[in-house]
Amino acid sequence: MAALFAVLIGIGVPSYCLPRPIGQLSDYGNVLDHNGRERITSLIERAHNRLGLNVYIFASWEDSGDEILRYAAALLDAWNLARGRTLLAVFLKTGRDWKLSVLSGAQTTAIYPHLAREVEDGIADLVEHRRIEEAMVMLFEVLERQASPAVTQGAPSVEQPATSGKGHRVLPALLLLACLGVIGFLIHRRICPRCGRILRIRESRVLGPYQRGDMIYYCQRCGYSRTKRGEG
């Protein structure tokens, strides 16, 4: 991409012939009315906040006198957009017809290699039918589809956290089951099934020198008792 810009600019438009940007929306041809400019400006801000992309739009009624791709590349360089996470859409009118070129900065191209082409193809028909304001709005709809964090470029990184999240949910469930099991065992062993009081323990007398006595669990309140036989 950098080599392409160098070649295009080297044989292209002198920098002193290029218009300066009027913010991120440079409507030199007065294509938009006040409401239209506010709408497009809002969409530019939305793209920055949601997608991290700095979108620049240039529209002019004057014929650049050059091939539009060369002219757009010269603008991208002159406006210092060639290296950033940027997208530049250039709309130029020649006679009654409009021409379109969409280029992306180096950081955008590294993340979304085909984004500029996808945006250009997505709005080309509207430009061909001279519906320029609609094309500008559609540009951001294409961006939402193609550059959203949930699109395919982010799929591998999205799948892994999802699996990890399931693991984090399973572990507490297993610990809870283990705790319930321990509590159930203690209840069965030390709680009186009749009245719910804690059972006391006493050891029966030893039957022989090599035998341990039986363990007797009993309840002082209701008289319940249970014997655990000793091992020989």
pLDDT band at 117 (very low <50, low <70, confident <90, very high): very high
Choose the weakest-confidence range: 120-129, 147-156, 157-166, 219-228. 157-166
Choose the weakest-confidence range: 89-98, 101-110, 190-199. 190-199
Residue 80's contacts (CB-CB under 8 Å, 6 or more residues apart) are none
Of 151, 175, 201, which residue sits at a domain end? 151
Whole-prediction pTM value? 0.60
Residue 195 lies in a domain: yes
Q: What is the pLDDT of residues 205-229, one digit of tens each?
A: 555 555 556 777 777 777 777 777 6
Asked if residue 136 and residue 30 are part of one domain, the reply reads: yes
Residue 39 lies in a domain: yes
Asked if residue 22 and residue 109 are part of one domain, the reply reads: yes
Asked if residue 146 and residue 40 are part of one domain, the reply reads: yes
Residue 40 lies in a domain: yes
Nearest Cα to Cα of residue 133 among 20, 38, 52, 24: 38
Residue 159 lies in a domain: no
Which residues constitute the domain of residue 196? 184-232
Asked if residue 201 and residue 142 are part of one domain, the reply reads: no
Query: Number of folded domains in the chain?
Result: 2
Residue 169 lies in a domain: no
pLDDT at 74 over 90: yes
